[in-house]
Structure 1
Amino acid sequence: MIRQAAVDLLHAHPAVRQRIGAAEIAVHRLESALCALDAVGTTDAKTIDLLTASGTKLSRLINALTAPGVHARWATLARSASFASAPATPPSRARWAHLTSEQRRELRNTAAGLLARHIEKPVDVQCVDYDGNPSGCMLCGVGAVQAFRADADSVWTLMSADSASIGGPGRADTLDGVVCPRCDHAIDQAHGVGQSAMTLSVRSFLGVPAHLRSLDNLDGLIGWAALPARSAPNREPWGHLDLGALRASADLILGRAS
């Protein structure tokens, strides 16, 4: 049963459900996405496992196929004709026979694009300034992040920040630049650019789970864009800072071998 499969998958990946909000909404969205796969004949267990093997993959599946899956359901057809007349709508002789050729084409194209992403390997997407020169994330300073080619144009997010708020000297104007996906997510979590966002980004980079309150307040963090003398972009996040002690603390807290 498709709905039960959606329930089981969300139970296995609770973070996905939490990001969506209400459990019923999360189940509806994933069930619709799974319906879209079923409608185009993608029912092989190995393929489904490939598309749902992690929280990231599950979220990608939901984002790509929920909308076309909702439109593919027979209930949508019945709703468009009003539920009052739904009982009079003749049943289909085969599964998904009510879909139009246009709907099937849309479903196949979307599902094919999603499957292609699991075959395609991500590439380095460099950060460059308006003049085409190498640049880095305003916070962690990383100069390149991996992404699929289709997502390359949306990897870097435009951002502005007050220099003092990210550990730099005070100045009259704001700092303008871009942030990487990790720092962009941290900014969303912290509801703004500043020390809290940088702390969350560092914690994420060091692999400290969000539910652990250890390393919750980090002092002395400086965003790459606020450095007194701008250095070359970092090869890895926060490369302009010495995180040796913090990394050792994180390893100790998480029981990782040194």
Structure 2
Amino acid sequence: MSTSPTKPTVPLVATLFAGSLACLACGQGVPEDSAVTTLDVTGRVVFLPALGVTKVQAVEETVTFRECWPCRDRDDVAHAALVALPGVAARYGHGNAKHRLRLALDGLAALGHRPPDKLDAAEVSALMRHLTIPGGSARWAARFAPVMAADADPATSALHPWSHLTTEQRAALREGYGALLADRVARVSPPPRLAPPEGDPQACAMCGVGSVEVSAAEVHCHGGTVRAREHVWRPVRFNAHVLGGPRTPSAQQGNLCPVCSDETTKAGAVGAEAMEGSYLRALRSEGRTDEVASIRQGAVPRLIGWAGHDLSETSAGRPPVPPNEKPWEHILVRRRVATPCNSPSST
């Protein structure tokens, strides 16, 4: 069965009234009662009939626009939101952040949505992440600057707000809005627990925790559970004896949870110093301040990392050690702390 080719979208435009200019965002005509914005045009798309192709011809022109009051209001909304969020403004630079947020709000408007009532840091970041690019591409001014489209005419305006949008532009806006909605759902969803990546030992090589809690929003930002696992867990290679286990002829492959990864970075290697730092953090989280004080005074217990303990058990013909529900549970709960002495040094 044959199918008809998709009919291209033709922008719905109209000739401007005398003295009017098109709104740089929604494209509708604006009379002479607002400020003019001038943009530089550095190129123009031209059609070459003999070759049946288009090319960009370099030009040096300018094109002028105005803003209708609904679009101007979105600029005020973006400014007010960033004044209330100095951290976001500082991260991107106030001018850059305002521009990006304004483009995202334009994207919402093109879909018929008003700015959100609550523009906190998470919502502003999500808007800029998902709608800045499609929102910027949807503006009327994007047809003219910096490169003017072949069918763009400065003497025209959109027939009605956003009527110039193509099928592709509307699809990009809907895709961005869908991602924004998914982001909103993730922010209020319960935080999932992520195990190490599939195929790897299913516990942290040092503290033995089998999963770590992350926000649903973070999982969404990474594109799903698989990539979030790869981001949260740090892959490492080590010899089991640096974690208190038996020496082996080859290095072991494992993963570190965020806490143990942080302590390993501080120490410079997987080993005694990193284990001690991670163990102290676990004691503090359990409220065992007396033991923390004792270790600080030099009574360092013989720490056995989960991977070293697991290898010791399996080498002796005993069952593998299951992952811990809490960090260092194989020591804190099962009381496997030996007579205080220094743990094996890292190599």
Q: Could you tell me the TM-score, scaled by structure 2's length?
A: 0.45
Which residue of 211, 215, 235 maps to 1:143? Answer: 211
**Corresponding letter in the other structure for 2:212:** A
Give how far 1:36 is off: 0.9
Give 1:92's match in structure 2, choosing from 132, 139, 158.
158
2:36 corresponds to which residue? Answer: none
Distance 1:144 1:100, change over 3 A: same
SS of the residue 1:194 aligns to: helix
CA RMSD across the alignment:
4.6
How far 1:177 sits from its partner (Å)?
A: 2.2
Give yes or no for contact 1:36–1:72 (8 Å, CA) kept in 2: yes
| Structure 2 equivalent of residue 118 of structure 1 | 184
Q: How do residues 154-169 of structure 1 correspond to structure 2 at under 5 angstroms?
A: 154-156=227-229, 157=231, 159-160=234-235
Q: Secondary structure at the match of 1:193?
A: helix
Q: Cα distance, 1:105 vs. partner?
A: 1.7
- After TM superposition, give the deviation of residue 109 of structure 1 in Å: 2.4
Is 1:56 matched up with 2:119?
Answer: no
Equivalent position amino acid for 2:158 in 1: S
Partner in structure 1 of residue 225 of structure 2: 152
Task: Indicate the SS of the match to 2:161.
Answer: coil
Select 1:35's aligned residue among 81, 84, 106: 106
- The structure 2 residue matched to 1:106, chosen from 169, 172, 175, is 172
Say if 1:34 and 1:69, in contact at 8 Å, map to a contact too: yes
Percent of aligned pairs with the same residue? 22
Determine which structure has more spread, i.e. the larger CA radius of gyration. Answer: 2
Amino acid at match of 2:134: P
AA partner of residue 38 (structure 1): A
For residues 10 and 174 of structure 1, the distance between their equivalents in structure 2, rounded to whole angstroms, comes to 49
Q: Report the alpha carbon displacement of residue 117 of structure 1 after superposing the two structures with TM.
A: 3.5
- 8 Å contact from structure 1 (residues 160, 177) kept in 2: yes
Residues in 2 aligned to 1:118 and 1:227: alpha-carbon distance in whole angstroms: 38
Give the length in aligned residue pairs. 207
Q: Which residue of 1 aligns with 2:79?
A: 7
Amino acid at match of 1:99: L
- Aligned-pair CA distance for 1:112: 2.4
Change in CA separation of 1:88 and 1:176 when aligned onto 2, cut-off 3 Å: same
String of CA shifts for 1:230-258, please: whole Å, max 9, x gaps: 7865656x67699xxxxxxxxxxxxxxxx
Q: Deviations over 1:16-74 (max 9, x none)?
A: 22222x2211111111111111110111x6xx135x33x22321221111111121122
Runs of at least 5 residues in structure 1 that lack an aligned partner in the other structure: 207-218, 243-258
- Give, in whole Å, the separation in 2 of the partners of 1:56 and 1:133: 34
Paired residue type of 2:137? H
Distance in 2 of aligned mates of 1:195 and 1:135: 21
Distance, in Å, in 2 between the alignment partners of 1:137 and 1:66 is 41
Call closer, same or farther: CA 1:129–1:115 in 2, change over 3 Å.
closer
More helix per residue: 1
* 1:59-94, Cα deviation, whole Å (9 max, x unpaired): 1221111111121122221115449x9872512132
Equivalent residue for 1:211?
none
Structure 2 unmatched runs, 5+: 1-72, 269-273, 286-295, 311-320, 333-347
Per the alignment, do residues 162 and 129 of structure 1 end up closer, same or farther by CA in structure 2, a change over 3 Å counting? closer
Check whether the contact 2:205–2:305 (CA below 8 A) recurs between aligned residues.
yes
Amino acid at match of 1:24: G
| Equivalent residue, structure 1, for 2:139 | 73
